[in-house]
Structure 1
Amino acid sequence: MRRLPVRPVAGLAAIGALVLTGCGTQTGGPAAAAAAGGKDRTIRAHQVMRVTEVHEQTGMTLLEGPVLDQDGTLLVVDVTAPAGEAKVLRVDVRKKTARQVHTDDRGTYTSAQFSPYDGRIYLTDFSHGEIVSLAPDGGDPRTFFSGEVDGARMNPDDLAFDREGSLYVSDSRGMSEGKATGRVVRIDRDGRNASVLADGLASPNGISFDADHRGLWFSELTQNRVSYLLLDGEGGVASRHTAIRVDGGIAQTDSIAVDADGNLYQGLHGRPAMAVYSENGERLATVEVPAPAAEGLESATNVAITPGGTKAYMTVSGPDGGYVYTFDALAKGVRQSNGG
């Protein structure tokens, strides 16, 4: 998720000092990616449709958390949607239509993902420190987790599930008395027990398991770096290190997705683009929204890659509205590249 652009808009104060992160068709496809020998190349994304317009009440729109359901329909969240307007939307990319799935009077939802345990949609509520779940059709809202973790309430941004259904959450807390207070938090699949896996982080944002579910990638928005947590297989951490330093210029690191080959798709806030890295930290490609469309867009927050295929759907937002763009990913989609 990313830090919202500063605008003199009534209603922004109600949202608070949100640190929101998050998150075309490539010419040549995955085979061309291999032929490129790992060189950073440009992948041109193509517009599918505009999903949302700027909300009068909040002065902005911000699409996040793209996830494909079993029918291939795309779900997205609108982080800045006010009460009564669509906060979760279902997008038919073939018919180019979008409809409301869920709204309420308080949630600030920054990511979405289906649980492998119960099949429900899980949402992170950044403003209220909660994890909310919905039935697959968007009904039956429930609070899955709320309250403090090790004495502090979360600002949950993105999430990832392990194979058993436990949640791993980027707690995008900022600074306190000059110290970074962000965390990575693990929550058991029943929502009863939560533990801190990493702390002292600078507004952690994106989070995703690697291709083998051995460890977690996570990004820090205000440090433009991606770190790796090797897990011990028992709910704890074996090691942690900085893995990638992102040369983003004015852009900051947003959400993360991982494809079947282990490649990382790092969303950028401040630029409608994504940086693609190998699991060894090599910059493979940059996904770009072509000019002049990019002039009215500010962020490419996240991406969902079709499970078993390479069609990718990227959420992009800015003063021109909230859009879905498409491109051809470098490898096939898996759970780690579908939601979060």
Structure 2
Amino acid sequence: MPTFTRPIAHIPAKFTGIFKNMLVSEVPMLGFRAMQALMDLRAAAGRQSGEALKGISDHVPPADRQGGADRQAIARVILRQGCRLERREDARLPDALLLAASQPETNAAAFTCATAILLADRIQMGLGQDNLSRHWEAFRDTYAMLPRHDRAAIFQGYLVASDLGRVRIEADASELPRLSEELEPLLKDLRSLAAEQEPELSVAVAARLGGVDATLARPHLRALLAGTGQQALTGDSLLFAPLLSLAAGSDNVARAAAAVLLAEALSTSDGEGWFAITLWPERIRDWLALPPRDGRAILAGLRYLYESDPAWVPVPERLVSPRHASSEPLLPVLDDSYGQSRPGDRLG
């Protein structure tokens, strides 16, 4: 949908039908971290049970429900508007969302869903105006007890919205339980993925190094695959250049090389930019297209980089409209829906 900044009265007549029911039409352009947080919030809202819609709509005054601010309207906001309040009838919803987001003991699904919508709406500069500071102070401990994907989405949403100046919180990101993936199981999965191709990977590395270098590098590769090495992998290591070259491919050996590099990058927050600078631009769309069995470990590793380091951003960073999110290479939520549907495409 086009984005207009002029009042509706000044938009050519052929376009006014699109916006006649909209109170806000301008959508902010967002960078990678804001887009990723937004998509995770949309997924969190859509993941809740049908009780979430009932719990939110119960807070809408009866007269407003009769006027269209009902469960169907909330479902439309989630599924059709990407959790952005923007239509005239949506103006009846912010108060109900704020109330639902303040009563976790009454309806936990509505609490999570409403919180996700409110944060997503603020990131997208929708109709909501509350800075959510009171909710943050009152419920940050409650957020910490949510299921891990909901918990991570909400904490990351608060952090991103705060960075954008759309909410007001006081928090040290390093102290927040903002991760959906645990490091040790993730490292195990990456090394297991690489070890499945150990013979082929060893041959491919040796072919690129040749001679004495291949012999010297072999013990280091074995140690990395086993997770027992004391020697870190750096840009100066003999193994680095062949692994990076192999990871840029599209076969099983490429996935194994990427898994080795990613396991090492997690320990340094990708400090040398192997993924943010070099591999993401070339490979992310191929990694997203992998079958779940092959793609999960790599995508989980990339998600860990995003969630653990507030400064991690693939470069060059593009600013895009949330309306065009489906065209951007964003990380899927690795919940039960992974490999089955896009985040936010369902309710419950």
Range class of TM-score, shorter chain:
under 0.3
TM-score w.r.t. the length of structure 1 is: 0.28
Larger Rg: 2
TM-score w.r.t. the length of structure 2 is: 0.27
